[in-house]
Amino acid sequence: MDYSNFVKTNRQYNLLLEQFSAGKMNHVCLLKSPDSNFSKEIVLSLAAKIVDCPLAQVQKKIHPDVFVYGEDGKIDVSCAGEIIDSLLTRPYSAKHKVYCLLGIENMNEASQNKLLKSLEEPPKDVIFLLTTANTKKVLSTILSRAVSIELDNLSSEQILELLTSGGATKQAAEIAVSCCGNNSTLAQKLTSEQFVSLYNLTLEMLESVNGSRDCLKYVSLLDSKQFSKTDILDVCTLFVRDVAMINAGERKLVINSHHIDNLSRIAACMNLVAAGNILSKINQLKQNLFFNANASAVLDNLILTIAEEKTKCRK
């Protein structure tokens, strides 16, 4: 996906550029965001500006003064050693060397500890640009050595534009945007045909399930598609939460508003208490999955609970 226009308008990106131009940029900057693709693009764009080269050189890893680690999801002890060994070498063509460490929460404790000294006292011509989606997995000693910056989320409209310009169908993009919580990395994953199929089948199941025969039908259908049980529970949560909002008179808070007709029909036979009971059951089933419960039994439980709660509402 092409983030270039959204990077240029990002508030934190422009603030860091201003600080660098004024000679006030910290030598260790930690960008925090669950949207790892977006934070990566901001870091690479910053690196290109710092060494004054085209972004493509950084993206292709061909600039001699920019080092990118973590794109494969790991930065191990050998990577940390490589960084330390190269720190004292002067920049080749630029005034600075930039180390981009992506997803530092994926570093194990040994790797993080090995970099501590380098982060505490980097050479004057070195800048570290770090990203993380989860600061809870980052050592407090590393957090204390960096200036932490919370990135603004992309808007739903921006993510929709990213997805459609990247080739996603309008339906797939709209579904992904409604489910991603303004996280373009997650949205991109959700545009797969598999997820769109799960989304549509879950909505159909919630609207159609009324009795035991329907339970058997949809357990079989969902099982045959080999969907992740966690994904089924998450999508079901999304829809039932919208149903609860409709019954609470808060239609403006409905996330999947493009399916408001379907959701309204479900809300007509699933009151606020029923929606709450189903959401409680889903949370319980998620815990069961965490403790390696039988996945098929989880699905049986979910759909049977939906049928039972809808039956109570008819009485």
Q: In this predicted model, what pLDDT tens digit does every residue of 190-218 receive, in sequence order?
A: 888 888 899 999 999 999 998 888 888 99
In the block, tokens 């009324």 appear at: 210
Q: Which pair of tokens denotes residue 86?
A: 């190269």
101, with CB counted inside 10 A (0-12, 13-18, 19+), is buried
So where are the chain's domains? 4-152, 192-314
Q: In this predicted model, what pLDDT tens digit does every residue of 16-55 receive, in sequence order?
A: 999 999 999 999 999 999 999 999 999 999 999 999 999 9
Q: In this predicted model, what pLDDT tens digit does every residue of 260-275 receive, in sequence order?
A: 999 999 999 999 999 9
Amino acid at 108: N
Quote the pLDDT of residue 186. Answer: 87
Distance CA(307)–CA(127), nearest Å, equals 58
Q: Has residue 290 got a pLDDT over 80?
A: no
Q: In this predicted model, what pLDDT tens digit does every residue of 227-254 receive, in sequence order?
A: 888 889 988 998 999 999 999 999 998 8
> Could you tell me which CATH number the domain at 192-314 has?
1.20.272
Distance CA(274)–CA(116), nearest Å, equals 52
- Would you put residue 157 in left (φ > 0), alpha (ψ -120 to 50) or beta? alpha
Distance CA(103)–CA(122), nearest Å, equals 20
Decide the pairing of beta strands 147-150 and 126-132. Answer: unpaired
Asked if the domains 4-152 and 192-314 are classified in one and the same CATH topology, the answer is no
> Could you tell me which CATH number the domain at 4-152 has?
3.40.50.300
